[in-house]
């Protein structure tokens, strides 16, 4: 498995993976998936243009991706997470980490480990709990993230704001 920086030509494959995972997670829900509401193909293409989506590729197939944003990118496009410091500390925000389920290749861990090594800074993440997404919560806890705050968006989605502190995990 290799990490590859996404190109504009990868945008549709990223959206297809996003939708397939969303449908699996929400198979009993009556709507088509919350990721497609928040992130459009244009937004994915825009993020790729900024060079911020990394893909896990195996046998020329997309197995997952991670979408980190640097502190400056977040300050330029404000996030709703008030707990993220605006001071001079260094950090990144994981907008999304999505992988095909049940590959047995630990794709999410592979991608997150890449980001931890590349940035060597604290990492923030929004983990959507409702609609059903307990696997993501378990994954983040297993990888050393701590819950900082719980939020409920206007649409009823429950979110856990989580933080990974690099100094606690040398």
Q: List the pLDDT tens digit at each of the 170 positions of the chain.
A: 999 999 999 999 998 888 777 644 444 443 344 454 556 788 788 878 876 899 999 999 999 999 888 777 777 765 556 666 666 667 888 877 888 877 778 898 999 999 988 888 888 787 776 555 677 888 888 888 888 888 777 767 777 787 888 767 65
CATH code of the domain occupying 2-168: 3.40.630.30
pTM: 0.79
DSSP the chain: -EEEE--GGGHHHHHHHHHHHHHHHTTTSSSS-HHHHH--HHHHHHHHHTT--EEEEETTEEEEEEEEEEHHHHHHS--S-TTS--SS--EEEEEEEEE-TT-SS-HHHHHHHHHHHHH-SEEEEEEEEETT-HHHHHHHHHTT-EEEEEEE-TTS-EEEEEEE-GGG--
Domain boundaries, the chain: 2-168
């Amino acid at each position: 498995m290799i990490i590859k920086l996404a190109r504009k030509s990868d945008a549709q494959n990223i959206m297809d993976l996003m939708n397939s995972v969303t449908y699996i997670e929400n198979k009993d829900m009556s709507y088509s998936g919350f990721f497609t509401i928040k992130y459009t193909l244009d937004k994915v293409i825009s993020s790729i243009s900024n060079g911020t989506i990394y893909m896990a590729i195996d046998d020329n197939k997309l197995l997952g991706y991670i979408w980190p944003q640097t502190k400056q990118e977040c300050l330029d496009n404000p996030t709703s997470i008030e707990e993220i410091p605006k001071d001079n500390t260094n950090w990144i925000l994981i907008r999304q980490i999505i992988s095909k389920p049940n590959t047995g290749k630990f794709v999410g861990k592979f991608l997150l480990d890449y980001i931890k090594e590349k940035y060597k800074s604290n990492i923030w993440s929004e983990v959507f709990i409702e609609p059903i997404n307990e696997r993501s919560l378990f994954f983040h806890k297993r990888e050393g993230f701590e819950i900082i705050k719980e939020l409920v968006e206007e649409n009823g989605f429950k979110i856990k704001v989580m933080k990974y502190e690099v100094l606690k995990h040398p």
